[in-house]
Structure 1
């Protein structure tokens, strides 16, 4: 009897069209960029945070009652904007002092780790795609992506396709709108298949921020360890593909940094490149490892 071939997963569907009446997407992007500017004027940031809170509240209200990933994203954006408005509220000298101390501490830890491993921080544009751009930059350094494909669109597509093809591996880590993200929720319900499909399309096609699930997906998709350096303990967080072990100092690994305080917006990823004196040795080692 002929052996049945394993059915391949259906292709990731296109994203749903944006709902009618959405307002201010371009404005929201501009406001996030303004808040991300480390050299920006404090009073301008304060005003931007207030406007951002107002716009995202309107967007969240327009999406109220809907249960797709875009509505979930809008609700999170509104909550984040509200928190930022509080952060930039005037006349809180103690809070400002604490923030400055946290910024200094984060910078100190990042510099120490970079010095320990002969790395230097390569700044990535803070545009919502930073995680995907940082990993694309690293993959290009390792020769795993050609220069013309080393961009966030490539890594967004790779992450979305891998997650969609391995739904059971990621679904438990993505609570549904009825779960922890729903108003008055008392359980951490999981996404339906349709919601998960929409989530993957959102990761692929929009500026939605990526996090732990997307890092793990990219580690597995490219079969490469990804190390994330952060100020919180542990300072180095590894993400390993199956049957692979590696150390932070190995040449054929991806190294990125995660920042919560050094940038105005808070959460941001950068690429950690080998210092110039080590670059040629690292490239030679990587080529040898993959041949």
Structure 2
């Protein structure tokens, strides 16, 4: 059966190619005739496939013989019963079929309709699967293309990627890890921002910059936006208190406004490698007060993805190759 179905799949695929070619070459005048011809070709192939499957299953493929002529012999009275007292032919139900006495019983076996339906459905499913595979083959591989572009950009810039959990906190987790690794810490310069007591508490209760450091970075970003609302409020689509509460207390994803607030609050430059390989640089506004060594460790790197991760947009941390 497997070999037969494989043969059917190949024949179905070949027929689809022929049908496609015929329809492409049809003109306005010949289109109807071509369509009719294609439909007939498809019907013929489907019927042949069903017949071959029935033969393989041991089912009869012979057509059911027509009923014998049940009319009375010439000259016999219409109302005279026959010799064995059976019902007159005119009273026999036209839908009733009986085998001829001279025919073997096997000749009148009806085709198994259930198996024929299953075979037809199997053929349809194979055709649908092949069509879906062909369509998928022609689609753009956004995920694979994006990763390839990003890997090339990392190599060119001498960067190594550090995976961050895609849980809504990825931006803040990637920043927290780099702040901790560089020695800057999660507590910002007091001259840049005055932390609210609740934010101070969230920073003090961080146990691991790698695992829950996002809590501190979220609080710092929210406080900075509140302190400098004139710089941010015009870009918000909801009230300031609602917006900053989401930053501090939920897993709401961070974006451009939050990155800008983080850069200014911590006094760092944030470089973002985009999904198309481009690089974006977010300045902190004042780097002249730092010496060269301090400037070097205040440069953070992020990788921004649009297609690679199932939840959507995502940030990973990037570090310089040693």
Normalising by structure 1, what TM-score?
Answer: 0.52
Q: Which residue of 1 aligns with 2:162?
A: 122
Superposition RMSD on alpha carbons, in Å?
2.7
Q: Which residue of 2 aligns with 1:131?
A: 171
Q: Which residue of 1 aligns with 2:260?
A: 216
Q: Which residue of 2 aligns with 1:254?
A: 300
Contact 1:99 1:261 in 2 (8 A): no
1 or 2 for the larger relative contact order (CA 8 Å, sep ≥6)? Answer: 1
Matches within 5 A, 1:1-291: 94=135, 98-100=139-141, 102-145=142-185, 148=207, 150=209, 151-176=213-238, 195-232=239-276, 235-244=278-287, 250-275=296-321, 278=322
* Aligned partner of residue 226 in structure 2, secondary structure: helix
Q: What displacement does 1:95 show?
A: 6.6
In structure 2, runs of 5+ residues without a counterpart are 1-131, 187-205
Q: What displacement does 1:93 show?
A: 6.4
| CA distance in 1 between partners of 2:270 and 2:154 (Å) | 15
* Aligned partner of residue 164 in structure 2, secondary structure: coil
* Aligned partner of residue 121 in structure 1, secondary structure: strand
Higher Cα Rg, which structure: 2
| CA distance in 2 between partners of 1:129 and 1:96 (Å) | 35
| CA distance in 2 between partners of 1:259 and 1:93 (Å) | 28
Residue-by-residue CA offset, 1:86-110 (whole Å, 9 max, x unaligned)? xxxxx5964785452x222211221
Residue-by-residue CA offset, 1:117-174 (whole Å, 9 max, x unaligned)? 2211111001111111011111112111269452110100010010111101111111
* Aligned partner of residue 254 in structure 2, secondary structure: coil
Normalising by structure 2, what TM-score?
Answer: 0.47
How many residues are aligned here?
A: 165
Contact 1:136 1:152 in 2 (8 A): yes
Contact 2:160 2:320 in 1 (8 A): yes
